[in-house]
Amino acid sequence: MRSFGVLAIAVVMSLPVPASAQPTGELAAARQALGQLQGRSFAENREYCGYIGIIENGQYAATEVTRGRSDSCLSRGDESRFVEVTASFHTHAGFDTEADSEVPSSNDVEGDMSEGVNGYVATPGGRLWFIDGQTGVATQICGLGCMGQDPRFIAGDAGPIAPRYTLQQLRQRESQW
């Protein structure tokens, strides 16, 4: 797997905190990292992933980005500079009519829960999701197009998308896909 350099993200901006419990700086770092990755992810039909954490000066930053496969990504970024790792992030590759990529997968949620971190997922339709690593609930932060959109994306192809899913609801959705 190739790495693509460090994403330097120093967050000092103030964003409103959505109803779910993610820290403002963490969300800003995730939006910046994923926003930079969406186009590459679509063009190569690959997931890109990494981690977000707090560095010594108290700001949030992202690890180096790892290029994954079309349906998975295992971060190889160096987290040693973090005082605390707080979240994972990844793209869901390019649009594919055979994939339910507009929502986080149960594997996405289970992985974050097992690591004890939050998660952020950007989809080919441009949605941004927050995964609460404690509760396993995935909440849509913003809808279609808010994070860039794969030009091949077909709205409605994945059926109805709820604003929030529990882990059990995601498993149920996958069993029907």
Cβ-Cβ contacts under 8 Å for 166 (sequence gap 6 or more) = 136, 137, 138
In this prediction, residue 76 has a pLDDT band, given cuts at 50, 70 and 90, of confident
Top-confidence residue, 16 or 29: 29
Q: What is the mean pLDDT of residues 20-49?
A: 94
Quick one: how many helices (H) and strands (E) in the chain? 3, 9
Residues in the chain, total:
177
CA–CA distance from 83 to each of 11, 20, 56, 75, 86 (Å)?
16, 23, 6, 18, 10
In this prediction, residue 177 has a pLDDT band, given cuts at 50, 70 and 90, of confident
Chain-wide mean pLDDT for the chain?
89
What tokens appear for 128 in the block?
């941004």
Q: Are 118 and 130 in contact (CB under 8 A)?
A: yes
What is the per-residue pLDDT across 104-162, written as a single tens digit (0 to 9) for each? 999 999 999 999 999 999 999 999 999 999 999 999 999 999 999 999 999 999 999 99
Question: For residue 10, is pLDDT > 60?
Answer: no
In this prediction, residue 18 has a pLDDT band, given cuts at 50, 70 and 90, of very low
pLDDT at residue 2, as a whole number: 29
